[in-house]
């Protein structure tokens, strides 16, 4: 069985990562979105084990020390991390895995995993990003300003990614189609078809045309 892809979707807060991942996963039911652990308290409507595994700081540190996390980061005062087993088990079963993580975490995955696919989601403009951060209505003005300032810094990491996708205003469907196109292109890479190609070459050489 082929090992599944590891797709890392990252980018500044407010670009629309959560929105597009949700739509991508509903269109691609075989895609496995890893559920992160976090020390952040749940927001209204968030369900433990669905949106995140909500845990305490002591437990987070224990998992981190036990090397149970593929990557982790402190984002706006809370810890977030990706459980290593969840990702590896799903990939081994042949499922493509999607991580929706911040740029600090994405850079750690890049160091630790040699075959990840790294996608940076961008807003069409920084003005649009501010509108999204402030329009979400989940954070205080101070936190929104902090997120926008961090976004300006995080943009400098874009050069380390494989793909950029611009999440244009009110074009979530189109953004999701671009992500699906990347997935399709990655699946067509020669390196993922090694066994099949060897078989095909062998078969071609074994056919005796004098019998036809
Ligand atoms: P992130 O997960 O990157 O922090 P969210 O998915 O929470 O971002 O999106 C931030 C805000 O922007 C939300 O209010 C969301 O509804 C809105 N949003 C997402 N994508 C678009 C888009 N293409 N056009 C306009 N608003 C969008
Ligand atoms: P939020 O608190 O809004 O759900 O997420 C805040 C930020 O943390 C977002 O940029 C989100 O992508 C990021 N994040 C969520 N889960 C993880 C994770 O497991 N690891 C890292 N590094 N970042 C994460």
Which pTM does this prediction carry? 0.94
pLDDT for position 205: 95
Q: CA-to-CA distance for 15 and 125, rounded, in angstroms?
A: 10
- Kindly give the distance from the C-alpha atom of residue 167 to the centroid of ligand 1, in angstroms, as a whole number: 9
Q: Which of 17, 105, 132 maximizes ligand 2 atoms within 8 Å of its Cβ, making it the mutation to test the pocket?
A: 105
Residue 211: predicted pLDDT: 86
Pocket-forming residues, ligand 2, beta carbon under 6 Å: 13, 17, 36, 40, 71, 73, 75, 80-82, 100-102, 104-105
* pLDDT value at residue 212: 85
Among the listed residues 76, 77, 59, 56, the one whose alpha carbon sits nearest the alpha carbon of residue 68 = 59
Q: Is 16 in the pocket of ligand 1 (CB under 6 A)?
A: yes
Length of the chain: 212
**What is the reported pLDDT for 128?**
97
Domains detected in the chain: 6-34+96-204 (3.40.50.300)
Q: Mean pLDDT for each 10-residue chunk of the chain (212 residues)?
A: 92 95 95 96 92 96 97 93 96 96 96 96 97 88 92 96 98 98 97 95 94 86
* Ligand 2 atom with least separation from CA of 34: 19
Ligand 1 geometric centre to CA of 19 (Å): 6
**Distance in Å, CA 38 to ligand 1 centroid:** 20
Closest to 36 (Cα-Cα) out of 77, 70, 2: 70
**pLDDT number for residue 160:** 96
pLDDT of residue 76: 83
Question: According to the model, what pLDDT value does residue 203 have?
Answer: 97
Residue ranges of E strands in the chain? 6-10, 32-33, 37-38, 53-54, 69-75, 78-83, 97-100, 116-122, 163-166
Alpha-carbon distance of 168 to 174, in angstroms, equals 8
């Amino acid at each position: 069985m082929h090992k599944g892809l590891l797709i890392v979707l990252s980018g500044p807060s407010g670009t629309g990562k959560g929105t597009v991942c949700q739509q991508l996963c509903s269109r691609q039911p075989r895609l496995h979105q890893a559920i992160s652990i976090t020390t952040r308290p749940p927001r209204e409507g968030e369900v433990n084990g669905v949106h995140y595994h909500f845990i305490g700081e002591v437990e987070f540190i224990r998992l981190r020390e036990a090397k149970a996390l593929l990557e982790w980061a402190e984002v706006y005062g809370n810890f977030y991390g990706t459980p290593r087993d969840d990702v590896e088990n799903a990939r081994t079963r042949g499922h493509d895995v999607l991580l929706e993580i911040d740029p600090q975490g994405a850079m750690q995955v890049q160091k630790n995993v040699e075959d990840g696919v790294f996608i940076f989601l961008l807003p069409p403009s920084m003005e649009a990003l501010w509108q999204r951060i402030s329009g979400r209505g989940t954070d205080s003005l101070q936190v929104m300003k902090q997120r926008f300032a961090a976004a300006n810094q995080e943009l400098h990491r874009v050069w380390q990614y494989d793909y950029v996708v611009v999440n244009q205003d009110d074009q979530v469907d189109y953004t999701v189609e671009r992500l699906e196109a990347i997935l399709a292109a990655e699946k067509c890479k020669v390196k993922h078809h090694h066994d099949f190609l060897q078989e095909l070459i062998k078969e071609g050489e074994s056919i005796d045309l004098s019998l036809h």
